[in-house]
Amino acid sequence: MKKLSLQGRFTLITGASSGLGLEMARIVARDHKGNLVLVARRLDRLEALATELRAHGVEVVCLQADMTRREDVQRTFDEATKGRSIYAAILNAGVSYFGLTLEQSFESFEQMLATNVTSVVWLAQRFAQHIVAQGDHGGLMIVSSLAGTTPTTYQATYCGTKAFLNNFGVAFGEELSDHGVSLTVFVPGGIATEMGEKSGTGRKFKKGDVGMMDPDACAQIAVDGFLARDRFVIPGALNLMNHFFLRFTPQSTAAGITKRIYRSALAVK
């Protein structure tokens, strides 16, 4: 398959109001002259980003949508494809939970499941159908996490959702390759974004710490892998090394390692 070519075509990015999604949008517009459909709940942030990106001579559409709401997820697809074809879709929106699973509310779990899994499956299938029907060999990307490759203690539900995405994404990508359409699963480790503060992992890992990537550098690797149509992309030498060694580590040992790493931030005895 030829590399993806985003110039003059529309790429949709969910979770574009901050962090990795925002930086990927910048790269698509600035370096590839790609048009964009930006999706998130914080419309003011999307509109400010759209103003910045239009200076690169590209078209930018903002869609306010909440991925926990089924009607918003469906509307995202309907509005994104109304009168335009989407060449590429980057499903990046995600939320995390850091803490004792015994204490996580079921409501918080349901919202995470809807954002990280249910909406991703729905949009991936819809956009894949749309992209296959266009016949111009576009692509999809799902942003997962290294947490999905190993049992991550105190992020049990989060790592569960990302484990789903890793397997779903690679398997669905295999099916899509029969249609000349690629699906890249992007699998970062720690990134210095708002997610640290929102979930609480920021109490342990901060910007500048070993292993914490800057969002712009991480986004560059994501977009490069996406354009190359790579199936499973882990950014950074340290993340690649961790992934390699953890493959030979028993699951219970890995859970114990992550427990030791995180428990001081939780003040668990």
Ligand X SMILES: NC(=O)c1ccc[n+]([C@@H]2O[C@H](COP(=O)([O-])OP(=O)(O)OC[C@H]3O[C@@H](n4cnc5c(N)ncnc54)[C@H](OP(=O)(O)O)[C@@H]3O)[C@@H](O)[C@H]2O)c1
What contacts 68, CB < 8 A, 6 or more positions away?
A: 110, 111, 114, 115, 119
Min dist CB 133 to ligand X, Å, is 25
Among 11, 35, 115, 155, binds ligand X (CB under 6 A): 115
Report the distance separating Cα 84 and Cα 156, nearest Å: 39
Q: Which stretch binds ligand X (CB under 6 A): 97-105, 169-177, 189-197, 244-252?
A: 189-197
Long-range contacts of 59-66 (CB under 8 A, 24+ apart): 59/10, 59/35, 60/29, 60/35, 60/36, 61/36, 61/37, 62/37, 62/38, 63/37, 63/38, 63/39, 64/39, 64/40, 65/39, 65/40, 65/41, 66/41
Closer CB to ligand X, residue 36 or residue 95? Answer: 95
Residues of span 16-35 touching ligand X by CB under 6 A: 16-21
Q: What does the radius of gyration of the chain's CA atoms come to, in whole angstroms?
A: 18
Closer CB to ligand X, residue 7 or residue 192? Answer: 192
Interaction of residue 150 with ligand X, rule CB under 6 A: no
Min dist CB 11 to ligand X, Å, is 15
How many beta carbons lie within 10 A of that of residue 7, not counting itself? Answer: 12
Among 4, 9, 10, 15, binds ligand X (CB under 6 A): 15
What contacts 236, CB < 8 A, 6 or more positions away?
A: 188, 189, 211, 213, 218, 221
Quick one: tokens of 130? 């749309």
Residues of span 198-257 touching ligand X by CB under 6 A: 198
Min dist CB 38 to ligand X, Å, is 9
Closer CB to ligand X, residue 29 or residue 93? Answer: 93
Closer CB to ligand X, residue 198 or residue 231? Answer: 198
Q: Which stretch binds ligand X (CB under 6 A): 90-98, 167-175, 241-249, 256-264?
A: 90-98
Amino acid at 178: D
Amino acid at 244: F
Q: Which stretch binds ligand X (CB under 6 A): 24-32, 54-62, 183-191, 257-265?
A: 183-191
Among 34, 188, 225, 235, binds ligand X (CB under 6 A): 188
Closer CB to ligand X, residue 136 or residue 209? Answer: 209
**Window 118-147: contact mask with ligand X (x via CB under 6 A):** -------------------------x-x--
Interaction of residue 92 with ligand X, rule CB under 6 A: yes
> b or e along 94-113 (b: 16 or more beta carbons within 10 Å of the residue's beta carbon)?
bbbbbbeeeebeeeebebbb
Report the distance separating Cα 2 and Cα 71, nearest Å: 35
Q: How many residues bind ligand X (CB under 6 A)?
A: 30
Min dist CB 147 to ligand X, Å, is 6
Give the C-alpha distances (Å, rounded to integers) separating 129 from 123, 229, 258: 10, 18, 39
Residues within the interface to ligand X (CB under 6 A): 15-21, 40-42, 45, 65-68, 92-96, 115, 143, 145, 188, 190-191, 193-195, 198
